[in-house]
Structures are given as structure tokens and as C-alpha cells.
Amino acid sequence: MKRLVSLAFVSLSLCACFSSGREKADSVSPDSTKAKGSGQFSFNAPPAIPREFVEAIDARSDEFLADLDAVLKADSGLLLLVDKKHSLDPDAVPPDLVPLLEGRSYSVGRNGLSLRLSAEAALERMARAARDSGITLVASSSYRSYEYQKKIYERNVLEMGEAAAGRESAKPGQSQHQLGTAVDFGSITDEFAQTRAGQWLSLHAGEYGWSLSFPQGLEQATGYRWECWHYRYIGTEAVALQDKWFGGVQQYEIEFIDAWRKRLDGR
């Protein structure tokens, strides 16, 4: 049975669709979602979202909608759903990539790394705070093109087989790295979680708008095993929404927002 969330309508400004290197802002009229003769409508929550979160949203819908509205108004293309079921075009490239260079508060693991402008600025703010605590954050991987991700995935398939590779790395077009807002930190191994940098990020990354994409024990939801080193920049407002309404799980929040936007667009 589909789970329905009955939500009182508030006007939402939808922003930022990442597509083929362009972003644009769209506004959706309230009339497109209102049921005739009613100020409410029913929303089909994605089935992957646990019932407890759906019921909490339904029970406190006014509060949730105010929080969601703030997130969508602040969004600048940071909340696009990219996973094993939602792919980017091969030619999709962020329009505002900037290089990660030495001389910033973070360190770079190799040459040629880049991020979207807002993500780099947030990384610098976070790295400066970490450095104040005696910790240097090392960015080991960041933006990857479709072709680069293809090479990584094919190499992993050759080394470990397709099933194992699918738990470790994304197919081309399905990687958050193509968005230009994801960073792999440190050693890119499970041991990173026990380092001072890994522990600091676990406690403080959200304060700077960074969210752990693939938490431990949630492979069924995210499609990937635990990656303690992989963080995605989604903005502080979205982190607050994720922590308050979706159990701190990025995948649940972004799946919900994706379905919400499609509902408002009439898709």
C-alpha cells in the first residue's frame, strides 16, 4: 500500500536543476498542486523512506513545510538525486568548477582536483575550522567527469568482479562526484574513520553543509557500502532538514525532495 502524506500547502520556490552543465530556477504555481475545494493534497512519499519519518512529517506538516521551504529557497543545484536509479547525462558538467589548490586551509591529494565554487568555499571554511583544532583535511578526490568515472568503474570490475564493484563504485553517470560537490577525504579506506580527521568530520562536517553520503548499515537504501570518507556538500539548511526529519540520512532527504518536486511539476 502506498504511504500518503497529507500536507498543508505552502508556496515553494524551486531552484536549480543540474542538466548538461546548466542550472536554472523554476517557480511553481500553488494552483498546480492544490486539490479543488481543499487547501491540502496527498503526497506519495518514496517507499524507501521509513514509515516513522513519513508519520512524523504528516503529524507536524506545518513545521515540516516551513523547514522544507527554507531549504528549497536556499538550494542552488545542490540537491539533485543521483544514484543507481537516477543518472546524469554524459555531457553534464557543473558550470562553475574551480580548482583545488595548495595554499588553502585544506591539502590536496593530487593535481587536477576541482569542485563547484560554493562547495570549494564551504570546504575552505570547514578546513580552516579543522586546522584550528590541529587537523589538516586532505581532499583526495573531487569532481569526476563521466569518462573518468567510467574508467574507475571498469577498472574495479576487472579487479573485483561486477557485483563487488557495484558496492564500491558508481557506474558512469551515477556518481555524486560528477555533480562537483562531493569529496573523498584522506586514505579513502575504512581506516579513515579512526583518524583524527575522520572523527572530526563525523562530528563537525554538518556545521559547514557537508553530509556523509553512504552511512554504515544503510547499503540497502543508498546502494553502496559504508564510505566514511565520502562527503557531499548540500548546504547547512539541507543538513538541518536531513538531521531533523530524515534521521540524518542524506539519501532519504534527497529522494523525498526529488519526489516532491516532481509532484509540484505534475510529473
91, amino acid identity: D
Q: How confident is the model at residue 82 (pLDDT cuts 50, 70, 90)?
A: very high
155-177: per-residue pLDDT in tens? 999 999 999 999 999 999 999 99
Measured distance CA(29)–CA(11) in Å, rounded? 8
pLDDT tens track for 214-244: 999 999 999 999 999 999 999 999 999 999 9
DSSP code string of 20-86: TTB--EEE--GGGTPPTT-SEEEEE--TTS-HHHHHHHHHTHHHHHHHHHHHHHH-SS-----BTTB
Backbone angles phi, psi at 113, to 5 degrees: -80, 150
pLDDT confidence of residue 42: 52
Query: Which pTM value belongs to this model?
Result: 0.86
- In eight-state DSSP terms, residue 137 is -
Q: Are 179 and 145 in contact (CB under 8 A)?
A: no
Name the region of 263 (left: φ>0; alpha: ψ -120 to 50; beta: rest). Answer: alpha
- CATH fold, domain 97-233, is Muramoyl-pentapeptide Carboxypeptidase; domain 2 (3.30.1380)
Q: What is the rounded CA–CA span in Å between residue 116 and residue 220? A: 29
The C-alpha cell that represents 53 in the structure block: 519519518
In the chain, domain spans:
4-79+257-264, 97-233
